[in-house]
Structure 1
Amino acid sequence: MADDFQHVTVLLDAAVDALSVKPDGIYIDGTFGRGGHTRKIIEQLGAEGRLLVVDKDPQAIAVAKELYGDDPRVSIYHGSFAEFDQALADAGWPQEVDGVLLDLGVSSPQIDDGTRGFSFQRDGALDMRMNPEQGMSAAEWLATAKDTEIMDVLWKYGDERFARRIVRQIIETRETEPLVTTMQLAKLIAGAVPRKFHGKKNPATKSFQAIRIFINQELADLEKCLEDGAKALVMNGRMVVISFHSLEDRMVKRYFKAQSTPKPVPRGLPILESDIELPFRTIGKAIKPSTDEVSENIRSRSSVMRILERKA
Protein backbone atom coordinates (compact mmCIF):
# COMPACT_ATOMS: atom_id res chain seq x y z
CA MET A 1 0.00 0.00 0.00
CA ALA A 2 2.95 2.25 -0.65
CA ASP A 3 1.50 5.74 -0.91
CA ASP A 4 1.91 8.31 -3.67
CA PHE A 5 3.87 10.81 -1.58
CA GLN A 6 7.64 10.77 -2.05
CA HIS A 7 10.17 11.15 0.73
CA VAL A 8 13.90 11.75 0.21
CA THR A 9 15.82 10.52 3.25
CA VAL A 10 18.13 13.17 4.70
CA LEU A 11 21.80 12.31 5.38
CA LEU A 12 21.07 8.70 4.44
CA ASP A 13 24.60 7.38 3.99
CA ALA A 14 26.12 9.55 6.72
CA ALA A 15 23.56 8.51 9.34
CA VAL A 16 23.77 4.76 8.71
CA ASP A 17 27.57 4.90 8.44
CA ALA A 18 27.60 6.69 11.81
CA LEU A 19 25.72 3.76 13.39
CA SER A 20 28.63 1.44 12.46
CA VAL A 21 26.19 -1.42 11.87
CA LYS A 22 27.32 -4.90 12.94
CA PRO A 23 25.75 -7.85 11.05
CA ASP A 24 24.52 -9.42 14.32
CA GLY A 25 23.66 -6.18 16.12
CA ILE A 26 20.34 -4.92 17.48
CA TYR A 27 19.23 -1.50 16.21
CA ILE A 28 16.31 0.89 16.54
CA ASP A 29 15.03 3.17 13.78
CA GLY A 30 12.87 5.38 15.97
CA THR A 31 11.39 7.34 13.06
CA PHE A 32 10.61 4.95 10.22
CA GLY A 33 8.94 7.53 7.96
CA ARG A 34 9.07 5.77 4.62
CA GLY A 35 11.96 3.51 5.49
CA GLY A 36 15.00 5.09 3.87
CA HIS A 37 17.32 4.54 6.83
CA THR A 38 15.69 1.21 7.62
CA ARG A 39 16.38 -0.10 4.15
CA LYS A 40 20.08 0.76 4.36
CA ILE A 41 20.46 -0.69 7.87
CA ILE A 42 18.84 -3.97 6.80
CA GLU A 43 21.26 -4.23 3.88
CA GLN A 44 24.07 -4.46 6.43
CA LEU A 45 22.39 -6.89 8.84
CA GLY A 46 23.04 -10.61 8.76
CA ALA A 47 20.59 -13.37 9.64
CA GLU A 48 21.19 -12.82 13.38
CA GLY A 49 20.79 -9.04 13.23
CA ARG A 50 17.67 -7.30 14.51
CA LEU A 51 15.97 -4.00 13.73
CA LEU A 52 13.09 -2.41 15.63
CA VAL A 53 11.22 0.19 13.57
CA VAL A 54 9.00 2.69 15.35
CA ASP A 55 6.63 5.41 14.16
CA LYS A 56 3.60 7.28 15.52
CA ASP A 57 2.06 7.61 12.07
CA PRO A 58 -0.29 4.75 11.12
CA GLN A 59 0.43 5.36 7.42
CA ALA A 60 4.15 4.89 8.03
CA ILE A 61 3.46 1.73 10.00
CA ALA A 62 1.33 0.39 7.14
CA VAL A 63 4.25 0.92 4.75
CA ALA A 64 6.64 -0.75 7.21
CA LYS A 65 4.39 -3.80 7.47
CA GLU A 66 4.09 -4.01 3.70
CA LEU A 67 7.84 -3.85 3.19
CA TYR A 68 9.16 -5.75 6.23
CA GLY A 69 6.26 -7.57 7.85
CA ASP A 70 7.64 -10.92 6.71
CA ASP A 71 11.27 -10.25 7.63
CA PRO A 72 12.09 -12.17 10.83
CA ARG A 73 14.85 -9.67 11.64
CA VAL A 74 12.40 -6.77 11.86
CA SER A 75 9.92 -5.88 14.59
CA ILE A 76 7.41 -3.07 13.95
CA TYR A 77 5.96 -0.90 16.71
CA HIS A 78 3.21 1.71 16.32
CA GLY A 79 3.93 4.42 18.85
CA SER A 80 6.42 7.04 19.95
CA PHE A 81 10.16 6.51 20.00
CA ALA A 82 9.87 7.48 23.67
CA GLU A 83 8.28 4.03 24.17
CA PHE A 84 11.03 1.97 22.58
CA ASP A 85 11.74 0.09 25.84
CA GLN A 86 8.14 -1.17 25.69
CA ALA A 87 8.59 -1.92 21.99
CA LEU A 88 11.69 -4.01 22.75
CA ALA A 89 9.78 -5.86 25.47
CA ASP A 90 6.87 -6.53 23.09
CA ALA A 91 9.33 -7.95 20.56
CA GLY A 92 10.88 -10.17 23.23
CA TRP A 93 14.29 -8.59 22.65
CA PRO A 94 16.85 -7.57 25.29
CA GLN A 95 16.82 -4.02 26.61
CA GLU A 96 20.35 -3.45 25.31
CA VAL A 97 20.95 -2.27 21.75
CA ASP A 98 23.88 -1.51 19.47
CA GLY A 99 22.42 1.62 17.96
CA VAL A 100 19.53 4.10 17.97
CA LEU A 101 18.72 6.35 15.01
CA LEU A 102 16.31 9.29 15.18
CA ASP A 103 15.40 11.39 12.14
CA LEU A 104 13.28 14.09 13.76
CA GLY A 105 10.70 16.46 12.33
CA VAL A 106 7.90 15.91 9.85
CA SER A 107 8.27 13.59 6.87
CA SER A 108 7.61 14.78 3.32
CA PRO A 109 4.47 12.60 2.97
CA GLN A 110 3.02 14.25 6.06
CA ILE A 111 3.74 17.73 4.71
CA ASP A 112 2.66 17.02 1.15
CA ASP A 113 -0.64 15.41 2.14
CA GLY A 114 -2.89 18.38 2.87
CA THR A 115 -5.37 16.20 4.74
CA ARG A 116 -2.85 15.71 7.56
CA GLY A 117 -2.99 19.40 8.51
CA PHE A 118 0.76 20.04 8.76
CA SER A 119 1.10 22.35 5.77
CA PHE A 120 0.22 26.03 5.61
CA GLN A 121 0.44 25.83 1.80
CA ARG A 122 -2.13 23.06 1.26
CA ASP A 123 -5.69 23.27 2.51
CA GLY A 124 -6.95 20.53 4.75
CA ALA A 125 -8.38 19.75 8.16
CA LEU A 126 -6.40 21.49 10.92
CA ASP A 127 -5.17 18.28 12.53
CA MET A 128 -1.35 18.13 12.88
CA ARG A 129 -1.32 14.86 14.83
CA MET A 130 1.38 12.36 13.89
CA ASN A 131 -1.17 9.76 14.91
CA PRO A 132 -4.63 11.03 13.87
CA GLU A 133 -6.21 8.29 15.97
CA GLN A 134 -4.86 9.61 19.25
CA GLY A 135 -5.00 12.82 21.25
CA MET A 136 -6.39 16.27 20.49
CA SER A 137 -6.17 17.85 17.04
CA ALA A 138 -4.82 21.36 16.52
CA ALA A 139 -8.34 22.57 15.70
CA GLU A 140 -9.75 21.14 18.93
CA TRP A 141 -6.96 22.68 20.98
CA LEU A 142 -7.25 26.13 19.39
CA ALA A 143 -11.01 26.06 20.00
CA THR A 144 -10.65 25.56 23.76
CA ALA A 145 -7.19 26.72 24.91
CA LYS A 146 -6.82 29.91 26.94
CA ASP A 147 -5.10 32.84 25.28
CA THR A 148 -2.18 32.58 27.72
CA GLU A 149 -1.66 28.92 26.84
CA ILE A 150 -1.61 29.58 23.09
CA MET A 151 0.72 32.53 23.66
CA ASP A 152 3.10 30.35 25.67
CA VAL A 153 3.19 27.69 22.94
CA LEU A 154 3.91 30.20 20.16
CA TRP A 155 6.69 31.81 22.20
CA LYS A 156 8.22 28.63 23.59
CA TYR A 157 8.16 26.41 20.52
CA GLY A 158 8.08 28.94 17.69
CA ASP A 159 9.91 32.01 19.00
CA GLU A 160 7.11 33.95 17.31
CA ARG A 161 7.64 37.67 17.91
CA PHE A 162 4.06 38.46 16.92
CA ALA A 163 2.50 35.83 19.18
CA ARG A 164 0.36 38.39 21.00
CA ARG A 165 -1.17 39.71 17.77
CA ILE A 166 -1.77 36.21 16.43
CA VAL A 167 -3.39 34.98 19.65
CA ARG A 168 -5.64 38.01 19.84
CA GLN A 169 -6.83 37.29 16.30
CA ILE A 170 -7.39 33.60 17.09
CA ILE A 171 -9.52 34.44 20.14
CA GLU A 172 -11.58 37.02 18.23
CA THR A 173 -12.11 34.73 15.23
CA ARG A 174 -13.14 31.63 17.16
CA GLU A 175 -15.95 33.57 18.83
CA THR A 176 -17.73 33.83 15.49
CA GLU A 177 -16.38 30.91 13.45
CA PRO A 178 -14.37 27.80 14.30
CA LEU A 179 -10.83 27.45 12.96
CA VAL A 180 -11.00 24.10 11.23
CA THR A 181 -8.71 24.28 8.17
CA THR A 182 -5.02 24.95 7.62
CA MET A 183 -5.65 27.78 5.18
CA GLN A 184 -7.98 29.49 7.64
CA LEU A 185 -5.22 29.55 10.22
CA ALA A 186 -2.49 30.48 7.72
CA LYS A 187 -4.50 33.45 6.41
CA LEU A 188 -5.33 34.55 9.96
CA ILE A 189 -1.63 34.55 10.89
CA ALA A 190 -0.66 36.37 7.69
CA GLY A 191 -3.21 39.04 8.55
CA ALA A 192 -1.92 39.37 12.12
CA VAL A 193 1.75 39.71 11.15
CA PRO A 194 2.59 43.19 9.78
CA ARG A 195 3.16 42.98 6.02
CA LYS A 196 6.64 44.50 6.22
CA PHE A 197 7.70 41.42 8.19
CA HIS A 198 6.50 38.98 5.50
CA GLY A 199 9.93 37.81 4.35
CA LYS A 200 11.10 34.79 2.39
CA LYS A 201 9.44 32.45 4.88
CA ASN A 202 5.68 32.19 5.05
CA PRO A 203 4.52 34.19 8.11
CA ALA A 204 2.71 31.07 9.37
CA THR A 205 5.92 29.00 9.52
CA LYS A 206 6.78 29.54 13.17
CA SER A 207 3.24 29.24 14.48
CA PHE A 208 2.54 26.01 12.60
CA GLN A 209 5.83 24.58 13.87
CA ALA A 210 5.02 25.58 17.45
CA ILE A 211 1.49 24.14 17.42
CA ARG A 212 2.71 20.90 15.81
CA ILE A 213 5.44 20.44 18.42
CA PHE A 214 2.94 21.02 21.23
CA ILE A 215 0.19 18.80 19.83
CA ASN A 216 2.59 15.88 19.38
CA GLN A 217 4.65 16.49 22.55
CA GLU A 218 7.73 16.22 20.36
CA LEU A 219 10.29 17.69 22.74
CA ALA A 220 9.04 15.73 25.75
CA ASP A 221 9.26 12.52 23.71
CA LEU A 222 12.75 13.45 22.52
CA GLU A 223 13.96 14.14 26.04
CA LYS A 224 12.78 10.74 27.26
CA CYS A 225 14.17 8.92 24.23
CA LEU A 226 17.60 10.52 24.62
CA GLU A 227 17.79 9.39 28.24
CA ASP A 228 16.43 5.89 27.70
CA GLY A 229 18.30 5.39 24.45
CA ALA A 230 21.67 6.30 25.94
CA LYS A 231 21.09 3.94 28.89
CA ALA A 232 20.23 1.09 26.52
CA LEU A 233 23.42 1.31 24.45
CA VAL A 234 25.97 -1.48 24.78
CA MET A 235 29.73 -0.84 24.73
CA ASN A 236 30.62 1.04 21.51
CA GLY A 237 26.91 1.41 20.75
CA ARG A 238 25.87 4.67 19.14
CA MET A 239 22.96 7.07 19.12
CA VAL A 240 22.59 9.12 15.94
CA VAL A 241 20.15 12.03 15.90
CA ILE A 242 19.19 14.23 12.95
CA SER A 243 17.45 17.47 13.99
CA PHE A 244 15.68 20.03 11.83
CA HIS A 245 15.19 23.06 14.05
CA SER A 246 17.10 24.79 16.80
CA LEU A 247 14.95 23.59 19.71
CA GLU A 248 15.58 19.94 18.85
CA ASP A 249 19.26 20.42 18.09
CA ARG A 250 19.83 22.44 21.25
CA MET A 251 18.30 19.66 23.34
CA VAL A 252 20.39 16.99 21.62
CA LYS A 253 23.59 19.04 21.81
CA ARG A 254 23.15 19.77 25.51
CA TYR A 255 22.30 16.20 26.39
CA PHE A 256 25.23 14.76 24.46
CA LYS A 257 27.57 17.32 26.01
CA ALA A 258 26.32 16.57 29.53
CA GLN A 259 26.95 12.84 29.01
CA SER A 260 30.42 13.28 27.55
CA THR A 261 31.89 16.20 29.52
CA PRO A 262 33.17 15.84 33.11
CA LYS A 263 31.66 18.10 35.71
CA PRO A 264 34.09 20.68 37.17
CA VAL A 265 36.28 19.24 39.92
CA PRO A 266 36.15 21.23 43.19
CA ARG A 267 39.37 23.13 43.79
CA GLY A 268 41.77 21.34 46.12
CA LEU A 269 40.72 17.77 45.33
CA PRO A 270 43.67 15.57 44.27
CA ILE A 271 42.08 14.68 40.93
CA LEU A 272 42.14 16.11 37.44
CA GLU A 273 39.23 16.33 35.00
CA SER A 274 41.29 14.17 32.64
CA ASP A 275 41.31 11.39 35.27
CA ILE A 276 37.51 11.14 35.30
CA GLU A 277 36.13 8.29 33.20
CA LEU A 278 32.88 9.11 31.43
CA PRO A 279 30.59 6.46 29.93
CA PHE A 280 30.02 8.39 26.68
CA ARG A 281 31.84 10.44 24.09
CA THR A 282 30.63 12.51 21.17
CA ILE A 283 31.89 11.46 17.74
CA GLY A 284 33.20 14.37 15.68
CA LYS A 285 31.41 17.65 15.20
CA ALA A 286 27.86 18.28 14.06
CA ILE A 287 27.35 17.07 10.50
CA LYS A 288 25.30 19.00 7.95
CA PRO A 289 24.20 18.02 4.45
CA SER A 290 26.45 18.80 1.53
CA THR A 291 25.69 21.52 -0.98
CA ASP A 292 24.77 18.82 -3.49
CA GLU A 293 22.29 17.19 -1.11
CA VAL A 294 20.63 20.51 -0.33
CA SER A 295 20.33 21.31 -4.03
CA GLU A 296 18.64 17.93 -4.61
CA ASN A 297 16.47 18.06 -1.49
CA ILE A 298 15.79 21.57 -0.23
CA ARG A 299 14.11 20.20 2.92
CA SER A 300 17.49 18.91 4.11
CA ARG A 301 18.96 22.42 4.39
CA SER A 302 18.28 22.86 8.11
CA SER A 303 19.28 19.34 9.18
CA VAL A 304 22.05 18.73 11.74
CA MET A 305 23.35 15.30 12.77
CA ARG A 306 25.06 14.49 16.07
CA ILE A 307 26.55 11.20 17.31
CA LEU A 308 27.00 9.82 20.84
CA GLU A 309 28.92 6.62 21.63
CA ARG A 310 29.09 4.55 24.80
CA LYS A 311 32.68 3.86 25.77
CA ALA A 312 32.31 2.40 29.25
Structure 2
Amino acid sequence: PMFHINAMVISNLATRLSHGQLLFRPKFSAHLFWKEVSSEKVTWVSLTPAIVAILLQRDERPQENQLRFLRTASAPLLPSIHREFKQRFGIPLIESYGMTEAASQIAQNPLDNPIQNTVGKVVGTQIKILDSNYDELGLNQVGEIALKGESVISNYLDPQPEAFHDGWLLTGDLGSLDEKGYLHIAGRIKEMIIRGGENVNPLAVEDCLNNLNFIKELAVIGTPDLIYGETVTAVIVPKKLSHDHRHQLALLNELANEQLLPVERPTKYIFSTQLPKNATGKIQRTLLAQEVTQQLKEA
Protein backbone atom coordinates (compact mmCIF):
# COMPACT_ATOMS: atom_id res chain seq x y z
CA PRO A 1 0.00 0.00 0.00
CA MET A 2 1.13 3.54 -0.80
CA PHE A 3 0.95 4.66 2.84
CA HIS A 4 3.70 2.16 3.67
CA ILE A 5 7.27 3.52 3.87
CA ASN A 6 8.54 0.81 1.51
CA ALA A 7 6.15 1.91 -1.25
CA MET A 8 6.70 5.62 -0.64
CA VAL A 9 10.51 5.56 -0.69
CA ILE A 10 11.67 2.43 -2.52
CA SER A 11 8.96 2.00 -5.13
CA ASN A 12 7.87 5.60 -5.65
CA LEU A 13 10.70 8.00 -4.80
CA ALA A 14 13.55 5.80 -6.06
CA THR A 15 11.81 5.21 -9.40
CA ARG A 16 11.04 8.90 -9.90
CA LEU A 17 14.62 9.92 -9.10
CA SER A 18 15.89 7.43 -11.69
CA HIS A 19 13.42 8.81 -14.28
CA GLY A 20 11.51 5.55 -14.38
CA GLN A 21 7.79 4.91 -14.69
CA LEU A 22 5.42 3.43 -12.12
CA LEU A 23 2.55 1.04 -12.69
CA PHE A 24 -0.22 1.32 -10.08
CA ARG A 25 -3.08 -1.08 -9.46
CA PRO A 26 -6.01 -0.61 -7.04
CA LYS A 27 -5.06 -3.94 -5.51
CA PHE A 28 -2.81 -6.90 -6.22
CA SER A 29 -4.09 -9.38 -8.80
CA ALA A 30 -2.33 -12.73 -8.96
CA HIS A 31 -4.24 -13.54 -12.15
CA LEU A 32 -2.94 -10.45 -13.97
CA PHE A 33 0.51 -10.15 -12.40
CA TRP A 34 2.64 -12.02 -14.94
CA LYS A 35 0.56 -10.73 -17.88
CA GLU A 36 1.13 -7.10 -16.87
CA VAL A 37 4.81 -7.67 -16.14
CA SER A 38 5.10 -8.76 -19.76
CA SER A 39 2.73 -6.30 -21.47
CA GLU A 40 3.94 -3.23 -19.55
CA LYS A 41 7.63 -4.15 -19.92
CA VAL A 42 8.19 -4.03 -16.16
CA THR A 43 11.88 -4.23 -15.17
CA TRP A 44 11.55 -4.72 -11.39
CA VAL A 45 8.86 -5.19 -8.77
CA SER A 46 8.79 -4.64 -5.02
CA LEU A 47 6.82 -7.42 -3.32
CA THR A 48 6.01 -8.70 0.14
CA PRO A 49 6.62 -12.36 1.06
CA ALA A 50 2.85 -12.82 1.21
CA ILE A 51 2.58 -12.01 -2.51
CA VAL A 52 5.51 -14.30 -3.31
CA ALA A 53 3.65 -17.14 -1.57
CA ILE A 54 0.45 -16.35 -3.49
CA LEU A 55 2.26 -16.48 -6.84
CA LEU A 56 3.60 -19.93 -5.94
CA GLN A 57 0.10 -21.21 -5.29
CA ARG A 58 -1.06 -20.44 -8.83
CA ASP A 59 -0.39 -22.11 -12.17
CA GLU A 60 0.53 -18.94 -14.10
CA ARG A 61 4.09 -18.74 -15.34
CA PRO A 62 6.14 -15.71 -16.45
CA GLN A 63 5.73 -14.88 -20.12
CA GLU A 64 8.42 -13.17 -22.17
CA ASN A 65 9.49 -10.24 -20.00
CA GLN A 66 12.20 -7.72 -19.18
CA LEU A 67 12.34 -8.37 -15.42
CA ARG A 68 15.78 -7.83 -13.89
CA PHE A 69 14.71 -8.88 -10.38
CA LEU A 70 11.95 -8.94 -7.81
CA ARG A 71 12.61 -7.22 -4.48
CA THR A 72 11.03 -8.47 -1.27
CA ALA A 73 10.72 -6.67 2.07
CA SER A 74 8.31 -5.88 4.95
CA ALA A 75 8.36 -9.38 6.48
CA PRO A 76 10.63 -12.43 6.72
CA LEU A 77 10.89 -14.60 3.60
CA LEU A 78 11.10 -18.27 4.54
CA PRO A 79 14.12 -20.02 2.93
CA SER A 80 11.82 -22.80 1.67
CA ILE A 81 9.66 -20.22 -0.15
CA HIS A 82 12.75 -18.56 -1.63
CA ARG A 83 14.10 -21.88 -2.92
CA GLU A 84 10.78 -22.87 -4.48
CA PHE A 85 10.38 -19.49 -6.18
CA LYS A 86 13.90 -19.60 -7.60
CA GLN A 87 13.47 -23.17 -8.89
CA ARG A 88 10.07 -22.52 -10.44
CA PHE A 89 10.46 -19.07 -11.98
CA GLY A 90 14.21 -18.55 -12.33
CA ILE A 91 13.93 -14.84 -11.53
CA PRO A 92 16.31 -13.25 -8.99
CA LEU A 93 14.49 -12.60 -5.72
CA ILE A 94 16.38 -9.89 -3.81
CA GLU A 95 15.80 -9.83 -0.06
CA SER A 96 16.10 -6.55 1.85
CA TYR A 97 15.46 -5.09 5.30
CA GLY A 98 14.02 -1.75 6.30
CA MET A 99 11.73 0.06 8.69
CA THR A 100 9.85 3.34 8.96
CA GLU A 101 12.13 4.50 11.79
CA ALA A 102 15.09 4.38 9.40
CA ALA A 103 13.35 6.06 6.44
CA SER A 104 12.90 2.64 4.82
CA GLN A 105 15.90 0.71 3.53
CA ILE A 106 18.58 -0.45 5.96
CA ALA A 107 20.13 -3.37 4.07
CA GLN A 108 19.74 -5.03 0.69
CA ASN A 109 21.40 -7.80 -1.24
CA PRO A 110 23.65 -6.48 -4.00
CA LEU A 111 22.34 -7.40 -7.44
CA ASP A 112 25.68 -8.82 -8.53
CA ASN A 113 26.17 -11.00 -5.44
CA PRO A 114 22.96 -11.78 -3.55
CA ILE A 115 23.20 -14.37 -0.81
CA GLN A 116 20.05 -16.35 -0.13
CA ASN A 117 18.62 -16.30 3.42
CA THR A 118 20.22 -12.92 4.17
CA VAL A 119 18.90 -9.38 3.71
CA GLY A 120 22.21 -8.27 2.26
CA LYS A 121 24.63 -5.54 3.28
CA VAL A 122 23.89 -2.46 5.37
CA VAL A 123 24.21 0.81 3.43
CA GLY A 124 24.23 4.35 4.84
CA THR A 125 23.39 3.28 8.39
CA GLN A 126 25.46 2.23 11.39
CA ILE A 127 24.53 -1.14 12.85
CA LYS A 128 25.44 -3.14 15.95
CA ILE A 129 24.29 -6.50 17.26
CA LEU A 130 23.70 -6.31 21.02
CA ASP A 131 23.16 -8.84 23.78
CA SER A 132 20.63 -8.37 26.60
CA ASN A 133 23.16 -6.22 28.50
CA TYR A 134 23.66 -3.91 25.47
CA ASP A 135 27.17 -5.25 24.85
CA GLU A 136 28.17 -5.62 21.20
CA LEU A 137 28.34 -9.20 19.93
CA GLY A 138 30.83 -10.67 17.48
CA LEU A 139 30.30 -12.14 14.02
CA ASN A 140 27.65 -14.84 13.60
CA GLN A 141 26.26 -14.22 17.08
CA VAL A 142 22.52 -13.53 17.28
CA GLY A 143 21.34 -10.50 19.22
CA GLU A 144 19.18 -7.41 18.91
CA ILE A 145 19.78 -5.21 15.88
CA ALA A 146 20.58 -1.61 16.88
CA LEU A 147 20.81 1.30 14.42
CA LYS A 148 22.20 4.81 14.28
CA GLY A 149 22.53 7.31 11.42
CA GLU A 150 21.21 10.43 9.75
CA SER A 151 18.13 8.61 8.48
CA VAL A 152 17.38 6.90 11.82
CA ILE A 153 15.07 8.52 14.36
CA SER A 154 16.37 9.56 17.77
CA ASN A 155 12.99 9.65 19.54
CA TYR A 156 9.28 8.99 19.06
CA LEU A 157 6.51 11.59 19.20
CA ASP A 158 5.05 9.52 22.03
CA PRO A 159 8.09 9.00 24.28
CA GLN A 160 9.42 5.41 24.26
CA PRO A 161 12.77 5.65 26.07
CA GLU A 162 13.02 1.84 26.24
CA ALA A 163 13.42 1.83 22.43
CA PHE A 164 16.80 3.59 22.63
CA HIS A 165 20.13 2.98 24.34
CA ASP A 166 23.07 5.37 24.28
CA GLY A 167 21.82 7.02 21.10
CA TRP A 168 21.09 3.75 19.29
CA LEU A 169 17.63 2.68 18.12
CA LEU A 170 16.74 -0.77 19.42
CA THR A 171 14.76 -2.38 16.60
CA GLY A 172 13.34 -5.37 18.48
CA ASP A 173 14.61 -7.54 15.63
CA LEU A 174 17.07 -10.38 16.16
CA GLY A 175 19.92 -10.85 13.73
CA SER A 176 23.62 -11.45 13.13
CA LEU A 177 26.38 -10.26 10.82
CA ASP A 178 28.60 -12.72 8.97
CA GLU A 179 32.22 -12.42 7.83
CA LYS A 180 31.19 -10.84 4.51
CA GLY A 181 29.07 -8.17 6.19
CA TYR A 182 25.73 -9.72 5.24
CA LEU A 183 22.90 -9.34 7.72
CA HIS A 184 20.89 -12.40 8.76
CA ILE A 185 17.45 -11.87 10.35
CA ALA A 186 16.42 -14.34 13.06
CA GLY A 187 12.98 -12.96 13.95
CA ARG A 188 11.44 -10.64 16.53
CA ILE A 189 12.47 -10.69 20.19
CA LYS A 190 8.88 -10.62 21.42
CA GLU A 191 7.94 -13.51 19.10
CA MET A 192 10.72 -15.81 20.30
CA ILE A 193 9.26 -18.83 22.11
CA ILE A 194 10.84 -19.72 25.47
CA ARG A 195 10.13 -23.36 26.31
CA GLY A 196 11.64 -24.70 29.50
CA GLY A 197 14.28 -21.97 29.48
CA GLU A 198 15.36 -22.65 25.87
CA ASN A 199 14.76 -20.23 23.00
CA VAL A 200 12.85 -21.53 19.99
CA ASN A 201 12.91 -19.50 16.78
CA PRO A 202 9.41 -19.78 15.23
CA LEU A 203 10.76 -18.97 11.76
CA ALA A 204 13.00 -22.06 11.82
CA VAL A 205 10.06 -24.27 12.72
CA GLU A 206 7.89 -22.69 10.02
CA ASP A 207 10.59 -23.16 7.40
CA CYS A 208 10.75 -26.87 8.22
CA LEU A 209 7.00 -27.54 8.23
CA ASN A 210 6.37 -25.42 5.14
CA ASN A 211 7.92 -28.15 2.99
CA LEU A 212 4.69 -30.16 3.27
CA ASN A 213 2.62 -29.66 0.12
CA PHE A 214 -0.78 -29.54 1.80
CA ILE A 215 0.10 -26.32 3.66
CA LYS A 216 -1.12 -23.05 2.17
CA GLU A 217 0.37 -20.92 4.96
CA LEU A 218 1.27 -21.31 8.62
CA ALA A 219 2.47 -19.47 11.70
CA VAL A 220 4.28 -20.86 14.73
CA ILE A 221 3.59 -19.16 18.06
CA GLY A 222 4.12 -19.71 21.77
CA THR A 223 1.12 -20.50 23.97
CA PRO A 224 1.08 -20.78 27.79
CA ASP A 225 2.18 -24.05 29.38
CA LEU A 226 1.99 -24.72 33.13
CA ILE A 227 5.18 -26.78 33.20
CA TYR A 228 7.44 -25.32 30.50
CA GLY A 229 6.20 -21.72 30.47
CA GLU A 230 5.42 -21.83 26.76
CA THR A 231 4.72 -24.57 24.28
CA VAL A 232 5.31 -24.51 20.53
CA THR A 233 2.01 -24.23 18.67
CA ALA A 234 1.64 -24.35 14.88
CA VAL A 235 -1.43 -22.80 13.26
CA ILE A 236 -1.95 -24.35 9.83
CA VAL A 237 -4.04 -23.09 6.91
CA PRO A 238 -4.34 -26.07 4.53
CA LYS A 239 -4.85 -25.70 0.80
CA LYS A 240 -7.97 -27.87 1.02
CA LEU A 241 -10.37 -27.86 3.94
CA SER A 242 -11.05 -31.17 5.65
CA HIS A 243 -12.91 -32.42 8.71
CA ASP A 244 -10.34 -35.13 9.30
CA HIS A 245 -6.73 -34.00 9.79
CA ARG A 246 -5.27 -37.27 11.04
CA HIS A 247 -3.20 -37.90 7.93
CA GLN A 248 -1.93 -34.31 7.89
CA LEU A 249 -1.06 -34.51 11.60
CA ALA A 250 0.90 -37.70 10.96
CA LEU A 251 2.91 -35.96 8.22
CA LEU A 252 3.56 -32.95 10.45
CA ASN A 253 4.76 -35.06 13.36
CA GLU A 254 6.91 -37.24 11.11
CA LEU A 255 8.66 -34.24 9.56
CA ALA A 256 9.11 -32.49 12.91
CA ASN A 257 10.59 -35.62 14.50
CA GLU A 258 13.02 -36.01 11.59
CA GLN A 259 14.24 -32.43 11.21
CA LEU A 260 13.58 -30.47 14.42
CA LEU A 261 15.16 -30.61 17.84
CA PRO A 262 12.87 -31.98 20.59
CA VAL A 263 12.39 -28.50 22.07
CA GLU A 264 11.40 -27.11 18.63
CA ARG A 265 8.73 -29.69 17.85
CA PRO A 266 5.19 -28.34 18.08
CA THR A 267 3.09 -29.93 20.81
CA LYS A 268 -0.11 -28.41 19.42
CA TYR A 269 -1.35 -28.16 15.84
CA ILE A 270 -4.37 -26.00 15.10
CA PHE A 271 -6.03 -25.99 11.67
CA SER A 272 -7.62 -22.72 10.58
CA THR A 273 -9.11 -21.06 7.50
CA GLN A 274 -7.01 -17.88 7.77
CA LEU A 275 -4.34 -16.02 9.73
CA PRO A 276 -4.62 -12.41 10.96
CA LYS A 277 -2.57 -10.04 8.79
CA ASN A 278 -1.87 -6.34 8.50
CA ALA A 279 -2.28 -4.19 5.40
CA THR A 280 0.98 -5.44 3.86
CA GLY A 281 0.06 -9.10 4.31
CA LYS A 282 2.39 -9.62 7.28
CA ILE A 283 1.11 -12.19 9.76
CA GLN A 284 0.20 -10.58 13.10
CA ARG A 285 1.73 -13.20 15.36
CA THR A 286 1.05 -11.41 18.65
CA LEU A 287 -2.65 -11.09 17.82
CA LEU A 288 -2.74 -14.71 16.65
CA ALA A 289 -1.13 -15.87 19.91
CA GLN A 290 -3.70 -13.92 21.90
CA GLU A 291 -6.59 -15.40 19.90
CA VAL A 292 -5.29 -18.96 20.19
CA THR A 293 -4.59 -18.60 23.91
CA GLN A 294 -8.15 -17.39 24.47
CA GLN A 295 -9.53 -20.29 22.42
CA LEU A 296 -7.50 -22.79 24.44
CA LYS A 297 -8.80 -21.29 27.70
CA GLU A 298 -12.39 -21.60 26.51
CA ALA A 299 -11.95 -25.14 25.18
TM range (shorter): under 0.3
Structure having greater relative contact order (Cα 8 Å, sep ≥ 6): 1
Higher strand share: 2
Higher alpha-carbon Rg: 1
TM-score, scaled to structure 1: 0.23
More helix by share: 1
Q: What TM-score comes out, normalization by structure 2 length?
A: 0.24
